[in-house]
Structure 1
Amino acid sequence: MLASERKSIPLRRTAKLRIPIFGKLVIAFMLVIIPMYTISLYLNQWGAASVRDEITKSMKGRVHFYIQSLVVEFERIQRLQWDFINDRDLQKLSVTSEIMSDNERTQAIIRLQERLALVKNSSNYIASFNAYIPTLGKVINSQNNYDSADQAYLQTLIDESGRIHPIVQSWRDRLFITQKYPDIGYPDSLTFFLNEEISKKAIRQELQQFSNIQGEQAILFGTDFNWSITNDDHADLIEHIRQVAKRLVKGDTVTAMDTIDFEGTPYLLTLEHEPSFDMTLVMYMPVKNALGPIAKYNLWLWVLSLTSFIIVLFFSYWIYRVIHKPLEQLVRTFRKVEKGQLDVRLNPTTRDEFEYLYSQFNSMIGRVNVLIEEVYEQQIRSQRSELKQLQAQINPHFLYNTFFILNRMVKVEDYPKLKPFTKHLGNYFKFITRDASDEVALREELAFAQSYLEIQKIRFEDRIQIDIEPLPARYADLLVPRLTLQPIIENCYKYGLEDVVSGGQLHISFKHAGGLLTVVIEDNGKGMSEEDMSALNRKLSHSQAQLETTGMINVHKRLQLMYGKDSGIRVTTGETLGGLKVELYIPVKEES
């Protein structure tokens, strides 16, 4: 659709509205609200007190149940840790590891890891169970591996483990239950150190299940309110509740309830403090949520229903005719547009706001059709223009050299080599100068690259050995941008193999994995420094169009224009030949 056609789309003018929908709604709501207001006000005030009392009792009971369950679980975890002190392998590794053979030490570590894993798996609240053995200088953990000891991490936990409180220690937003052995004489007499990391994720999940009313949240504070666990991401509200809870928990206070105000919103708050673990569980929710589900009181409900039944019945039918049916038609039409049907139109039947909405919808669909067609056509033209420009940027350095070689061969009358040389050179010119499709089959691109290599064989004689693996038949017709392989091979000669006196190697192979066909071009030339290679890979991953687009960057951008961001080039140091290794990634569909 042309721009001139866009101008021909008519915009309907609405007539002067008689009674707007807003006025109709106001009249209808007044008829319903006035006879019900007095009764509803009384019911809300009466029911709010009752519901508030029931909810606060429920919150208090659930807070007590959960924190006691958590204390029982933490005490069980602590007992498991105490029982582990007598583990035979742990004692042997801690005391006699230096005189144990390597096999004995390894077997003891494996058995110890298995028992650590058993303890870890015995509770959802244990994220990991670790044993630090100073004589080994290692931390053996329940994940079947051991690492060198993190001195900062261990030092803090070991120093704090001698205190009676807190039993649960905090370090860098992580929680631990620890035990050092022996518990006196550290650091000279430390034999081993056990620590169980508490899973904050598991506690959050339990807190999430613990909250069963909309808007209800729970926070677990510990160690003099220095750490907290919650699913609420409102940091300011959490800090405000922290200060309120610290004020409420004084002396022997175990439970408390209060109503707080935060940013104009009142909240019901219930907490319980557990002195043995220095933990406080706080549950809170907006007052409006607590008073929302007010129970319906039968007597007053029947009075209200009998009074308003006829009015509501008539009002509902009237709203259905005036508002619901037009809205339903508008929604159905929008859903058709979501599915791509842009030829739909609405026919207004009333003289109100819906008439205006329908006419503007029709006008909008017309303009959308025009814009989609214009933007799509402009995008296609822009991409083809960029592809043509990138494809035309071919380095003429090779052409200069071939003409010099041809001149030299004529002078020395080397006619046996001159004939194949001119044949391959003709094929080369034919391929790069023909004005055909921007895309060619991979077998044609490989054949052109082989012609280029034949020319280079004559130029470099026996100095460079070329090895090309056969192209898998199922990828022979895979389309690629023209002049994809030759610039990469030319780069290998120019920067890696041109100064090689003898023993040069160039290897081309193909491999397929993970939905990608990888063309690997590797040489044994001088390669690139790590700094230059990192700079080149950064340019290849750069998305700005203003970057220089020649050589490998040219090929990389043309591949991505054709196949998307999963395709392109990656440059590394070759593992086999030791020179430069260039990998071209081309997405391919898996065959059934």
Structure 2
Amino acid sequence: MYGYRQAPATLVGTKGDNILESALIFWRKSIFTRLMLTFLLIVSPLYLVAFLIYNWGIGSVKEELERTMKSQVAFFTSNLNTEVQRINSLLYNTLYDSNLTDLADTVTKMSDYEIYRSINNLQQRLLVLKNSNLYVKDVTAYIPSAEMFVTSNEGVGNVDPDALAFFNRASTNSKSQLLQYRGDFYLRALLPLDMRYRMEKKVHLLTATLSIDRIRASLGQLDTRPGGGTALLLPDRSLVGLPGADEQLAAALGAALQALPDLSGSGSLTFAQDGQNYFAVYETSSYLGATLAVYVHQEALTEKADRFKGLFLVYSMAAVLIVFVYMLSAFKFVQQPMLKLIRALRQMEKGNLNVEITHRSEDEYGFVFTRFNGMVRNLNQLIDQVYKQQILTQQAELKQLQSQINPHFLYNTYFVLYNMAMSEDYDNVKQFTRQLGTYFQFITRNAADDVPLKMEVEHARTYCEIQSLRFWNRLAVDFGELPASCSDTLVPRLILQPILENVFEHGLADKKADGLLTVAFDVSAAGLEIVVEDNGPLLPDSVIVQLNEKMLPGASSSETTAIVNINRRLRLKFGDGSGLVFRHGAEGGLQVRIVIA
């Protein structure tokens, strides 16, 4: 892409950034923003107090409900511990009952009557133990030495070896010896002997079968709100819940309990199920190894605070309405007139000086707008005297710069033609006059200040051919091809030929042979560079520095040379990033870079 087509895009991006930055500064420093912030600072403490009162009410209700739930859970857990401890105490007392020990140790020496009497007495003892506690469904005495068991409900039966092996071998972290077997829960009482010894010697033991239905019924006595419930997490991680309770909800509660890093003691937690949030309190019994939890719907925690919600809602709506009315009034009386002024200033920045602001009220803004309209009218009157005059001066300066170049070139070309005629080189005279005609055709038929770059390059190429005819035995010209993408770029006339002329007159003037002039084109994202280089004598660094200093904006010079003119025209056309740059050439001579940014 050629430079002068990129410049507008860069300008737009810069203007967009400036507008955004100006907007941010405006909102940060505007009167409207300060008014809004001041008003919000006044209103915010009042609203904050109401919000704190509301939260205090909600928190108080929640704390009270949580305390109630924790008290219920603690009471039930303590009661369950007491009942299980009493069952275990009765079991261990029965473990040493004489009827049981006689059947276990001396059954082979007992008569049938003694065996019958002992079994009957033992069953009566087991039945009393069962009826002494609500949670006991059945009590069983395993007597492996007599190959029998005695239950409180059914009497005598044959020992089940699988059940006997399980109750001898099973281990549990529960101090109460709470076990699960075949879907039922048992409390176990056995002598403190080695497991292998008990099995080899066929030592007797006792179990009490717990009634899950009665435990569920007891759980139902806890006060739960609609949508809530109670669950007991047993040592084997199975759940005992209320009859008809939501099994998925109970499972979610169990998963939440098991996910806790430490389930000992008591605490509270929240969990979710089917998009609903629930709150639960729990207490773990170290004796049972079980956890009792009561859960309620999250909304139940604040149901008693609904009266606060209505009041707070009315208060919030009133606060919002007041803020809205104030903001609307401030926008109408302060911000809207300010936006009118800003839009008018934006139009002026874009060059539109025909803007006028109307304001109905005779307030401070009316005074400012009246003075603004007068200022715009004065600016329009001064444009013809200052701005347009400056434009005409610049155009006249461009014309003068171009006319300064043309006489110098005419002198040189006619001098070459004179030498050819004097040497009677008629063939080259014909070719030279044809090329000279092409050259003057470019000069006379195109009066525009700007021409397409391809025409400027063809004109310079023609000039090089003219000079090559003159110095055919002393130098060569390597003229590169102009990239097609840059052909139509409009440039000031005569920006390349004068530089080539300086090369022939100064850079290669002393070359008796092997002189070389190269012209190349370098296209990049930054723009186009035309590189002119010769293999003339090496210039001192100070000369290169002096030449570049003359090209700087505002540099003063006692005379305006062709090179300075070209640099000034390029900068006037394409901006400060364009112009001429001088360097040492790769072949030892001077390199001139024509930058079109």
Same fold (TM over 0.5): no
> What TM-score, normalized by structure 1, do the two folds share?
0.42
Q: Which has the higher helix share?
A: 2
Is the radius of gyration larger for structure 1 or structure 2?
2
Higher relative contact order (CA 8 A, sep 6+): 2
Alignment TM-score, normalising by the size of structure 2: 0.42
